[in-house]
Structure 1
Amino acid sequence: MALRDATGPTRGIRGRLAVRREVVRSFAQKMVRTCGGTRAYGRVATHVMGTTMMSIDQAAMSIDQAALLEPLELREISDAAITVIDEQGTVVAWTRAAQHLVGYCAEDVVGRSATLVLPSFEEELGASAFAEQCRAQGGWSGTAAVRHRDGRTLNLSVRLSLLWGQDANHRWLVSLTGMGACSPGMVDGSVRKSLFARAPVGIAIRDPQLRCIWTNDEMEHDGISRDRRVGRRLKDSLPGFEAEALEAVMRQVLASGTSAVHEYRAWPPEDPRREHAFSVSFFCLLDADGQALGVCSLTVDVTSNQGVRERLAILSQAGTRIGSSLDVMQTAQELADVAVPLLADHVTVDLAEPVPLGGEPSARIGTTCDHSRVFRRAGLASIHPGVLPESAFARGETISVPPSSPLAAALRTGKSRLEPVLDTTPGTWVDHDPAQAQKIRENGIHSMMIVPIRARHCVLGVALFARTEDPTPFRQDDLLLAEELVTRAALSLDNARQYTRERSTALALQRNLLPHRLRGGVAVEAAGRYLPADTDAGVGGDWFDVIPLPCARVALVVGDVVGHGINAAVTMARLRTAVHTLAELDLPPDELLSHLDDSVRRLAGEDDDAPDQMPEILGATCVYAVYDPVTRQCTMARAGHPPPAIVDAQGKVTFPDLPTGAPLGLGLGLVPFEAVEVELPEGSLIAFYTDGLVESHDDDIDAGMHRLATALAQPEQPLEDLCSSVMETVPAQAASDDVALLLARVDALKPTHTASWELPAAPVVVSAARHLAARQLRAWGLEHLVPTTELIVSELVTNAIHHGAGPIRLRLIKHQVVTCEVFDRGSCYPRLRHARNVDENGRGLFLIAQLSSKWGFRSATDGKLVWVDQELPSTL
């Protein structure tokens, strides 16, 4: 029998055992710290990991009950009072533990009848029927009255074990255990007997030279017969056996006269492919003079208990390692990594094709066998890291499962499948999967478990566990552990799948709500970028926009909604729509932000009416600018947003000093927004961005703005390339916030494309205004627009004279359309109305609306401005 000391160097033990023991040791230490450090909490009963699937929290709660059941035999053995009696019932050896229990020392009892201590056996030990019964059964166990030296009677648990020596001689080993070691309800003889029957104890008594002189039948668990054991030392019985550590413990027990407990591992002949763990308790036997007579060893197979601890340790590892992120593929890989090498040599995790993308899986995959099922290999692990020879498919590849495969069968039934010995003979399912058959034969896959991954009554995929180098076949308890691991992973996988779906929905919503084309007219070239936050933070509410305005002007806007997820994306869409609506009113930037602030506070008030729901709007920041290519003036205002960056043609970067303003929805309308006008040189570049571009956890915002300025100092680059360069400066630590970037290269309209005249507020100027406008149109080659333009100019100038105040300014602008502007200092705005047949007035604006493509008005410095657009011919 191969055997090694548990504390010695690893020899012939697979790498999995070393890793597993380290995990168990770490788990045990954690449990001892959690539970107060008592030895009882270090042992857990086998029933904890029985047919009932329980979480690690439930298992931890059951440790108290388990500690009373599973370690009872071990505690009784290690704490037992041992005495040896001969065939006539005379005590021939005593222990110090017996002295502590019943008060008699070795000098008091050795050489005397055992009835001194066991009065209830006074008649029974002499009865041949009882003796024959004990010999036939190999011993006896139960409860008996034991006399203490002070006269008290103790109700103790007693076990008689039959020992054999040379020439068929026999002795009796009596172990006495206090009933205090038992839990309430476990004191009757039948229960005590069943407990001892569950744990056969191998007994050996050795002389001071460590030669075996007495042993029982259970000691032959290691495959050595009694004849080969009796009269020999431990190392003589088993050639090549590394028994130095065990014999060293026995010598120490002989020298000190006390007891000791030791553990070791071995491969018994009846189960050579499975490592067994043994716990052996050593007792020093004393003679009538109180001197060391020999050493008694009591050995118990604790493999099942060790397996429970290992399974709980693996589950503890799974609780901390599986589900560390909301990424489906990573979670599947974590399941595979946890199982190798603690449970299997090779693990694959295959998910239904829609699952990695957040799709909804079917309730049961493969309800028919007429065609193959397509999966994606999401997790792959092997004891051969980096090589992975057991798999025919790499991680991330799509695979097809034949209908005859056991994977398909597990998916159809939704039940796990255990193949302790994999059958690869001709005619089995392996014939229908040549690629897998080749891998099985090449790598020696001999045992396999297949567990469907189920969550919320849906099948997400399947996990396969295989053994190659480990010769031990999978057993039922391994399948239970695999199912528990998969159950834990399934919940994390489903959470990740649902998050992926929600994030994809939010991201798609946001991308669809952002502008697909940025149209800046003839004077503004624009490009934008949006970078969503990382997987954990989710999509945010950053947005940008370019809005063409009348009179060749362009509005540039960037905003940032507080929060992440679908609510942030929906809020962004509402704010973007509100900005478009307000921009159509041609409001100045500061007034537009004031109206937008009112809208945000009103929407937030709607959320307050539903306190049980997550508020959709928690605040937002925004910067809004209007660029006029005729004057090269850019009017900007911001609401709690970082200032834009301006880059001149030489690459010099400046950040204009703009009043900060309160974030939208948070200023309570008490502080007005302020607008600032900045003249932009021709060819300048202006950059708008959100704080995710310049803020990080490690650096302050000044460092981020310096990085941005460095990246922007290349104005000659194409805008798309410059956008990419700027986005590369986003620090990795800032990935928890999304980023929006808008670059605009501005130009000025050529002086020849504008014409402006100052006119007095007198009726006689109407004719002169028509003449000036007609002459300019002919100079531009737009003779076909002269009649309608003369009518428009006549109506606008007449209204300015009658309803406004002088002086009057007439301006024509040729860009994508021809715009006619009339400015006056009045405050009476034109209003379109349908005149009745009897009305003399009210038809002018209606006529203008019919002749033009668009018209409107806006406030201007010290007055108002009315404008009218006419389409240019398509050939221009």
Structure 2
Amino acid sequence: MNPVRNGSDPPAPADACHLFDASSDAAAVLSGRGIVLGWTRGAEDLFGYPAAEAVGRSAARLAAMPEDPVRIVGIAERCRAGMGWSGLIPVRHRDGHRMEVDLRVSAVFRMHGEECFLISAHERRQRWSVGESVLDGFLTRSPVGMAVVDRQLRYVWLNDTLERLGGVPREQRLGHRLSELLPGLQTETLEGLMRKVVETGAPVTDYEYVGWSWSDPHRQHAYSTSFFPLVDADESVTGVCYMVMDVTERWNARQLLSMVNEAGTSIGRTLDVMRTAQELADFAVPRLADFVVVDLLEPVLSTAGHGTWLTDAGPASARPVMRRAGISSVREGCPEAVARIGDRVDFLPPPRDPGMLVRGEPTLVPVLDPADDLWIAQQPEWVGSITEFGLHSLISVPMRARNTVLGLTTFVRSVNPVSFQPDDVLVAQELVARAALCVDNARRYTREHVAAVTLQRSLLPHTLSGGTALEVASHYLPADPAGGVGGDWFDVIPLSGARVGLVVGDVVGHGITAAAGMGRLRTAVQTLADMEMAPDDLLAHLDDLVLRLSEEETGDGAADDGASAFLGATCLYAVYDPVTRRCTMARAGHPPPVLVTPDGRVDFPTPPAGPPLGLGGIGFETGEIELPPDSVFGLYTDGLVEAADRDMEVGMARLGEALARPGTDLDTLCRTTVQRFASGPQSDDIALLLARTHAVRPDHVASWDVPADPAAVADVRSRAARQVEAWGFGDLAMTTELIVSELVTNAIRYAAPPIRLRLLRDARLTCEVADGSSTAPRLRHARSTDEGGRGLFLVAQLVHRWGARYTPDGKIIWAEQEIP
């Protein structure tokens, strides 16, 4: 392509000239240095220069403005990047007159190895002049309301559309201000915006507001308004033109969407069925309705589970039994209601078909008329409320979630004069659907929580007895439903020799799994305690049990049912002996006990720390302290002393202060202490076990050393009989002689010295024989031909219970008799 023409070159072929002929536009080719390489006939006609005078010369002489190198370099770089440029620039004709052209520069290309630009230009078009009649028809028939006001904001012109929007005739508007015609339409704000336009000359666009008009006084409308200044030849503002559009549908859609989104954060904030129903009613008033009631089926409100009406399989012909769960009104006290919270209701909207709850179909009654609507007449309690409070429009939406019928929500308008429309039904359905999911979640969680609490309470001891050694009291408080029931437990276990075992523990986790794990551990502790194990040995066996439980629940296929694994537990086990007033204890990751002596001194005796149950491989150790009579000894779980606003040490100090109240009844002390710490929602269970210590009187204990000689049996037997008679238990003297005879004889024959006999008068009469052997006694059923082997069997038939426990020096065989 070589469109260059000059005086010495031959004429360019016709097809080459057409390459640059863009209809009537002028076109030229410039080199990267701004030299004209090509010139078209259109360029000759626009600028007046023939090709001979233009080609080969700089194009800068054509511009009618000072050179701007920075701008030229910027345009060149843009074109080199593959993009074009366009703009309006002044140029000078060959005859010297100035004109403005629309200039376009193409992306760079190469010709004969040189960088080139294609330039096209045309003179700026003349503005289209519109006749007055055409302009008047355009403004008058525009779908946008338009008006012109003077500097005093008085109407001087308006079109037909604005006249229809406002409902005020044109004759009444002209010469008056907006505030004089429509005082309730945010006129102060609108006139303030118009004054701003008059003062500054800056337009204000797309200002939205809500109001009413005389054309539709019973319905709220939304408008979008823009204000523009009107200027004269010297650029002074002579008035304001404003345009108005009715954007009610768009505004309503935006408001309804915002309402539905807000409902997601306002409804279902708790896992409580009744509170969720009330939140739905409170949210919808007055946003959507003036009066809202939420009625739920009775099985939804109960914790027993599903009822016949809860699922699609339920009989649709049956009459639903519902109770009022939520109520709200724009009137204080909800006087429109014919039923209150908790009352039984049987309201159904037309066509009064119970099957509409199953089908989930909403009902819209735009106009409530007791005189014409038969279904209202069938509910006389409603007639008086409709008449007295002007209830005029109704929407009823069934509450359903996960194919489960939950109840019915009814929206009513009275103060708002606008009847419900189909769009309102969609919003009501969306609100009810969100609330229904929250109600169903709360129902399911409540049922599971109640089941877990019921399970845990059934596994905890119903009555506690410390015998004559301890006065005991306990208080258990489950966690807040949001936190879920935990695995806290406690127990008081009677042991031989008037001793008492005290235990408190906490299973890791929450829910039914934790409650079930707690039951297993409590049973295991009772079994191990009955085997007379020392506290450290008991925790070691309990640790092995927790390890086995964890392995079972995390083994292959064990978690297929979704059950949580047994994660572990903490525990503290203590044994109190009222004869010696010594307390032996061991702990596995549990907080230390609290001790309040009779003089009010508070102490937290710390037995050797052991790891939580379930870790394995680490042993446990025992610690021993003396408990003065009438001391308060307390075991607790971490939920009592730990909280988000305090650490454990602060909680333990507060616990000591709460328990240091001499003379307070133990049950009262236990209950008030828990209430003091649980003033708000609890994320963890609280268990507190208190024991007030007593000591066995010295004259209720008698003991004798027994020589390792069978001849000594008769003497010790008679001593025991005389002691029992001295205590006033003559009916037990013969039985006691037999028991002492058998136990002492077995110790002399099969055990090792030292041998010692002790009689203990407590809730029962206990006979103990200690020896230096660790050989366990064994109950045998002797054959008819055997001369021996019936001693322990005979003792077992005569006593309430018997057993053996081991000591550091040997063992003790004991037998208890009921005192008449």
For this structure pair, what is the TM-score category when the shorter chain's length is used for normalisation? 0.7 to 0.9
Find out whether 1:624 has 2:567 as its counterpart. Answer: no
**Residue 533 (structure 1) shift:** 1.0
CA, structure 1 residues 413+614, in 2 after alignment: closer, same or farther (shift >3 Å)? closer
For the residue of structure 2 that corresponds to 1:378, the secondary structure is strand
**Residue 251 (structure 1) shift:** 6.5
Find out whether 1:761 has 2:708 as its counterpart. Answer: yes
TM-score (norm 1): 0.72
For the residue of structure 2 that corresponds to 1:820, the secondary structure is strand
- Separation in structure 2 between the aligned mates of residue 580 and residue 440 of structure 1, nearest angstrom: 66
Map of 1:98 onto structure 2: none
Say which of 299, 307, 311 aligns to 1:363: 311
For the residue of structure 2 that corresponds to 1:732, the secondary structure is coil
Structure 2 gap ranges (5+)? 1-85, 90-119
- Separation in structure 1 between the aligned mates of residue 253 and residue 598 of structure 2, nearest angstrom: 73
Find out whether 1:851 has 2:788 as its counterpart. Answer: no
8 Å CA contact retained: 1:683, 1:746: yes
- Separation in structure 2 between the aligned mates of residue 383 and residue 149 of structure 1, nearest angstrom: 70
- Separation in structure 2 between the aligned mates of residue 852 and residue 257 of structure 1, nearest angstrom: 107
Aligned residue type for 2:772: R
Aligned residue type for 2:773: G
Find out whether 1:352 has 2:297 as its counterpart. Answer: yes
Which deviates the most, 465-474 or 640-649?
Answer: 640-649
- Separation in structure 1 between the aligned mates of residue 279 and residue 457 of structure 2, nearest angstrom: 31
Map of 2:410 onto structure 1: 464
CA, structure 1 residues 320+848, in 2 after alignment: closer, same or farther (shift >3 Å)? same
**Residue 658 (structure 1) shift:** 1.8
- Separation in structure 2 between the aligned mates of residue 438 and residue 392 of structure 1, nearest angstrom: 9
The 5-angstrom pairing of residues 119-138 of structure 1 reads: none
- Separation in structure 1 between the aligned mates of residue 313 and residue 414 of structure 2, nearest angstrom: 29
**Residue 537 (structure 1) shift:** 0.6
**Residue 315 (structure 1) shift:** 1.3
Say which of 396, 404, 407 aligns to 1:450: 396
For the residue of structure 2 that corresponds to 1:735, the secondary structure is coil
Find out whether 1:331 has 2:276 as its counterpart. Answer: yes
Aligned residue type for 1:459: V
Find out whether 1:832 has 2:779 as its counterpart. Answer: yes
Map of 1:547 onto structure 2: 493
Which deviates the most, 239-248 or 643-652?
Answer: 239-248
8 Å CA contact retained: 1:401, 1:407: no
Map of 1:173 onto structure 2: 138
CA, structure 1 residues 273+576, in 2 after alignment: closer, same or farther (shift >3 Å)? same
**Residue 272 (structure 1) shift:** 2.1
Map of 2:145 onto structure 1: 202
Find out whether 1:732 has 2:679 as its counterpart. Answer: yes
> Deviations 1:296-344 (Å, cap 9, x if unpaired)?
5443210000001101111121111112121222212221222122212
8 Å CA contact retained: 1:532, 1:739: yes
Say which of 429, 441, 447 aligns to 1:495: 441
The 5-angstrom pairing of residues 49-198 of structure 1 reads: 150=122, 171-173=136-138
Aligned residue type for 1:456: R
Which deviates the most, 406-415 or 449-458?
Answer: 406-415
8 Å CA contact retained: 1:369, 1:403: no
- Separation in structure 1 between the aligned mates of residue 542 and residue 157 of structure 2, nearest angstrom: 98
For the residue of structure 1 that corresponds to 2:817, the secondary structure is strand
Map of 1:567 onto structure 2: 513
> Deviations 1:86-110 (Å, cap 9, x if unpaired)?
xxxxxxxxxxxxxxx9999xxxxxx
- Separation in structure 1 between the aligned mates of residue 202 and residue 589 of structure 2, nearest angstrom: 82
8 Å CA contact retained: 2:168, 2:214: no
Which deviates the most, 743-752 or 568-577?
Answer: 743-752
Find out whether 1:802 has 2:749 as its counterpart. Answer: yes
Aligned residue type for 1:307: N
Find out whether 1:275 has 2:257 as its counterpart. Answer: no
Find out whether 1:317 has 2:262 as its counterpart. Answer: yes
CA, structure 1 residues 575+245, in 2 after alignment: closer, same or farther (shift >3 Å)? closer
For the residue of structure 2 that corresponds to 1:744, the secondary structure is strand
Map of 2:690 onto structure 1: 743
8 Å CA contact retained: 1:694, 1:708: yes
Find out whether 1:579 has 2:522 as its counterpart. Answer: no
Map of 1:420 onto structure 2: 366
8 Å CA contact retained: 2:147, 2:155: no
For the residue of structure 1 that corresponds to 2:445, the secondary structure is helix
TM-score (norm 2): 0.77
Find out whether 1:644 has 2:609 as its counterpart. Answer: no
8 Å CA contact retained: 1:367, 1:412: no
- Separation in structure 2 between the aligned mates of residue 789 and residue 749 of structure 1, nearest angstrom: 20
> Deviations 1:487-516 (Å, cap 9, x if unpaired)?
111111111111111110000111111111
Say which of 245, 252, 262 aligns to 2:207: 262
8 Å CA contact retained: 1:257, 1:292: no
- Separation in structure 1 between the aligned mates of residue 402 and residue 245 of structure 2, nearest angstrom: 44
CA, structure 1 residues 553+172, in 2 after alignment: closer, same or farther (shift >3 Å)? same
- Separation in structure 2 between the aligned mates of residue 240 and residue 511 of structure 1, nearest angstrom: 68
- Separation in structure 2 between the aligned mates of residue 434 and residue 237 of structure 1, nearest angstrom: 48
Map of 2:251 onto structure 1: 306
- Separation in structure 2 between the aligned mates of residue 630 and residue 856 of structure 1, nearest angstrom: 19
Map of 1:399 onto structure 2: 344
Say which of 209, 220, 243 aligns to 2:164: 220
**Residue 203 (structure 1) shift:** 4.2
The 5-angstrom pairing of residues 610-759 of structure 1 reads: 610=558, 613-666=562-615, 668-670=616-618, 672-732=619-679, 735-759=682-706
- Separation in structure 1 between the aligned mates of residue 132 and residue 250 of structure 2, nearest angstrom: 27
**Residue 547 (structure 1) shift:** 1.0
Matched pairs, number: 695
- Separation in structure 2 between the aligned mates of residue 222 and residue 585 of structure 1, nearest angstrom: 94
For the residue of structure 2 that corresponds to 1:173, the secondary structure is helix
Aligned residue type for 1:315: V
Map of 2:426 onto structure 1: 480
CA, structure 1 residues 391+854, in 2 after alignment: closer, same or farther (shift >3 Å)? same
- Separation in structure 2 between the aligned mates of residue 469 and residue 406 of structure 1, nearest angstrom: 26
8 Å CA contact retained: 2:311, 2:405: yes
> Deviations 1:672-702 (Å, cap 9, x if unpaired)?
2222222222333222111222222222323
For the residue of structure 2 that corresponds to 1:777, the secondary structure is helix
CA, structure 1 residues 466+729, in 2 after alignment: closer, same or farther (shift >3 Å)? same
8 Å CA contact retained: 1:350, 1:463: yes
8 Å CA contact retained: 2:165, 2:213: yes
- Structure having greater relative contact order (Cα 8 Å, sep ≥ 6): 1
- Separation in structure 2 between the aligned mates of residue 763 and residue 506 of structure 1, nearest angstrom: 59
Q: CA RMSD in A?
A: 3.7
Aligned residue type for 1:558: V
CA, structure 1 residues 299+749, in 2 after alignment: closer, same or farther (shift >3 Å)? same
- Separation in structure 2 between the aligned mates of residue 305 and residue 149 of structure 1, nearest angstrom: 45
8 Å CA contact retained: 1:598, 1:669: no
CA, structure 1 residues 245+696, in 2 after alignment: closer, same or farther (shift >3 Å)? closer
- Separation in structure 2 between the aligned mates of residue 770 and residue 200 of structure 1, nearest angstrom: 120
For the residue of structure 2 that corresponds to 1:556, the secondary structure is strand
- Separation in structure 1 between the aligned mates of residue 720 and residue 405 of structure 2, nearest angstrom: 75
8 Å CA contact retained: 1:527, 1:719: yes
Which deviates the most, 495-504 or 609-618?
Answer: 609-618
- Separation in structure 1 between the aligned mates of residue 376 and residue 313 of structure 2, nearest angstrom: 21
CA, structure 1 residues 162+585, in 2 after alignment: closer, same or farther (shift >3 Å)? farther
- Separation in structure 2 between the aligned mates of residue 365 and residue 523 of structure 1, nearest angstrom: 60
- Separation in structure 2 between the aligned mates of residue 250 and residue 296 of structure 1, nearest angstrom: 9
- Separation in structure 2 between the aligned mates of residue 238 and residue 734 of structure 1, nearest angstrom: 58
**Residue 278 (structure 1) shift:** 1.7
CA, structure 1 residues 200+420, in 2 after alignment: closer, same or farther (shift >3 Å)? farther
8 Å CA contact retained: 2:589, 2:609: yes
CA, structure 1 residues 812+268, in 2 after alignment: closer, same or farther (shift >3 Å)? same
> Deviations 1:41-96 (Å, cap 9, x if unpaired)?
xxxxxxxxxxxxxxxxxxxxxxxxxxxxxxxxxxxxxxxxxxxxxxxxxxxxxxxx
For the residue of structure 1 that corresponds to 2:441, the secondary structure is helix
**Residue 456 (structure 1) shift:** 1.2
Map of 1:508 onto structure 2: 454
- Separation in structure 2 between the aligned mates of residue 173 and residue 729 of structure 1, nearest angstrom: 79
8 Å CA contact retained: 1:163, 1:215: no
Which deviates the most, 800-809 or 713-722?
Answer: 713-722
Aligned residue type for 1:728: Q
